Structure 1
Amino acid sequence: MTIWDGLIWGGTALTAAGLAALVWCIVTAARAKARGLADDEMRAVMRRVVVVNMAALAGSVFGLMFVVLGIMLGR
């Protein structure tokens, strides 16, 4: 296994973690909507969801960049 294979697998793991966090965001927002929370409570939940969502998207993007770099530089 070369360093480029490690970069590919690390990027894959980072992307998978980002996708799992995105699923968490979807589930949390759906549950909050289904509970019919008050406006202030809904804002607090959504504030946390937006932060996790942005971090998950950034993680997925960086993971995909690592995969592409590993593929391009490894061959």
Structure 2
Amino acid sequence: MDMLVPAGAVITVLGLLGLIYCIVEVARAKRAELGEDALRARLQKAVALNLGALGVSALGLMIVVVGVFLA
């Protein structure tokens, strides 16, 4: 049970890194001056990654909360 908080923190940080990666990718896509279809395709991929990273981060925070309650 003592490992839940650190494990949850690591998972949360991985999710946050994924969110930062999404921000960087969207900024790169907008600076690349792509056509509308190419830009839309890149942004759709970024949205999928963004939702996944947000889910991972939320899961990590839930693990931290459970670890705090059980400690």
TM-score range, shorter chain: over 0.9
Counterpart-to-counterpart distance in 1, 2:2 and 2:48? 31
Which of 41, 50, 53 is the matching residue for 1:53? 50
> Normalising to structure 1: TM-score of the pair?
0.90
User: Structure 1 unaligned runs (5+)?
Assistant: none
Equivalent residues in 2 for 1:1-75, closer than 5 Å? 4-74=1-71
Report how many aligned residue pairs link the two structures.
Answer: 71
Q: Which amino acid aligns with 2:11?
A: L
- Counterpart CA distance in 2 for 1:52 and 1:11 is 20
AA aligned opposite 1:49? A
Query: What RMSD over aligned residues (CA atoms) do the two structures have, in Å?
Result: 0.7
Q: Any unmatched runs of 5+ in structure 2?
A: none
Aligned partners of 1:21, 1:40: CA distance in 2, in Å?
Answer: 24
Shift of 1:5: 2.0
- The alpha-carbon deviation at position 16 of structure 1 amounts to 0.4
Give the TM-score normalised by the residue count of structure 2.
0.95
